[in-house]
Amino acid sequence: MAAPPSPLGLARRVSGAGAATPAAAWSSSCRSRRLRPRLLPSKRWSGVVRMGAAVGGEQEGEDEEVKLAKEMAAARRRWETLIREQKIKTLTPREAGYTFKLTDKVLLDVRPSNERQKAWVKGSTWIPVFDVDTSFDLGGAGKKFTNYVMGGWWSGSSTMTVNKNFVQQVEEKFSKDTDIIVVCQKGLRSLAACEQLYGAGFQNLFWVQGGLEAAEEEDFEREGPQPFKLAGIGGVSEFFGWTDQQRAQAVKEGLGYRLIFTGRLVGALVLVDALFLGAQRIGPLLQELQSR
């Protein structure tokens, strides 16, 4: 009987933003469960599926999607069991914020560096469960290119590599009886991290459901240039303000916020139009020069 996939391996392959078949299957299967779909948001899940093809998947196409769906289902059952049996306790972002401020519990941020550098909780400890792949070998370059072509240019998603020393680094920082609140951007990677830590003997683990994207600014004391909700977006969609997070932000910020992205879009259209007109004029000139 094959061994179940490791949570970090699954998180890498499905980690870090259109909806793929496994994402739809996940949302449908957990809709009636106590753990709502916020556990694994469908849009984030689809971006992670694309990342899996670039990071760890040797198979491609439908077979890989079927395999991924099975692994997701197995991980979901394990995580639900851990939460149902209170081996991992659940906190909302607001509860986590109050708990972190008023008690001696530590807050462990397991997000990759590209999200952490945009916004982080003041006083939190950062140990990524996986991080941006910075390798420059031929294989790494191929994965980065595949990830970019398969949607990275739009969503800003990066290829990721598992932090194989994650548990060891946490053990070096905290004792096994430390109360640890584990958080990521959307809740998937932190839950995978909790499973790893629980398996290593950590008993007092608290998982932040929905991650920092579900938090309001007043829930935590933030440091960094971006709101928590925008730390996980990137690419062309972020530049033009076409992400769901930015649309929600625009409702709060008002017209001025919308005008920033409207100006970017108008500027891009003007630039494209100028390049097109320039090409039309340069073409005849080049032909004339060649005829001489």
Q: Closest by alpha carbon to 236, among 129, 153, 121, 136?
A: 153
**Cα distance between residue 112 and residue 17, in whole Å:** 14
- Angle at which helices 62-84 and 42-55 pack, to 10 degrees? 120
Catalytic residue among 184, 191, 205, 208: 184
Residue 194 known to be catalytic: no
Secondary structure (3-state) at 130: strand
Q: What is the DSSP string of 230-264?
A: GTT--HHHHHTT-SHHHHHHHHHH-HHHHHHHHHH
- 82 to 13, 129, 164, 271: CA distances (angstroms): 22, 19, 22, 54
Residues 14 and 68: beta-carbon distance below 8 Å: yes
DSSP element (H, E) containing 210: none
The residues with which 109 forms a beta bridge, in sequence order, are: 126, 183
The residues with which 130 forms a beta bridge, in sequence order, are: 162
Residues 53 and 223: beta-carbon distance below 8 Å: no
- Angle at which helices 244-253 and 255-291 pack, to 10 degrees? 130
* Residues carrying an active site annotation: 184
